[in-house]
Amino acid sequence: MRPLRPFNFNTSAELFPAAIRKKKRAGFAYRRFGTAAEAVRFAMEELPADSLNGAYLQVEEARFDQNGIRSLYESESFPLPRRPRPAPAQTDADAA
């Protein structure tokens, strides 16, 4: 198995919605981004979960599905600040 080459987050990217005939995707259509980093952040932070499911990111000749997009977002080399994750809700048992 050969090692993967480093991903270039500065390459332009295209984000495509899932091809679902019976559902309308409110506000999500094909979108082009100046950098893959912007596309990945948009997909992870702005898209509703059902819109991300089935969508794919095209960067040069490579395609990334929902899991691939998530991997890029969670990568140590992701260059943009990530939205802070919400704190887990406290239960009454945790407060005692």
Q: What is the pLDDT of residues 24-73, one digit of tens each?
A: 555 578 999 999 999 999 999 988 887 888 899 999 999 999 999 999 99
- Per the listing, tokens 């095209």 go with 58
In a domain, 4, yes or no: no
Cα 94 from Cα 79, distance rounded (Å): 35
Contact by Cβ (8 Å): 49, 74: no
In a domain, 7, yes or no: no
In a domain, 32, yes or no: yes
Which residue range(s) make up the domain with 55?
13-19+26-84
In a domain, 92, yes or no: no
Q: Which amino acid is at 3?
A: P
Tell me how many domains the chain contains: 1
Ramachandran category for residue 54: left, alpha or beta (phi over 0 → left; psi -120 to 50 → alpha):
left
Sequence-separated (6 or more) residues with CB below 8 Å from residue 22: none
pLDDT in tens, 15-27: 998 765 555 555 5
pLDDT confidence band for 1 (50 / 70 / 90)? very low
Largest CA distance in the chain: 54
In a domain, 56, yes or no: yes
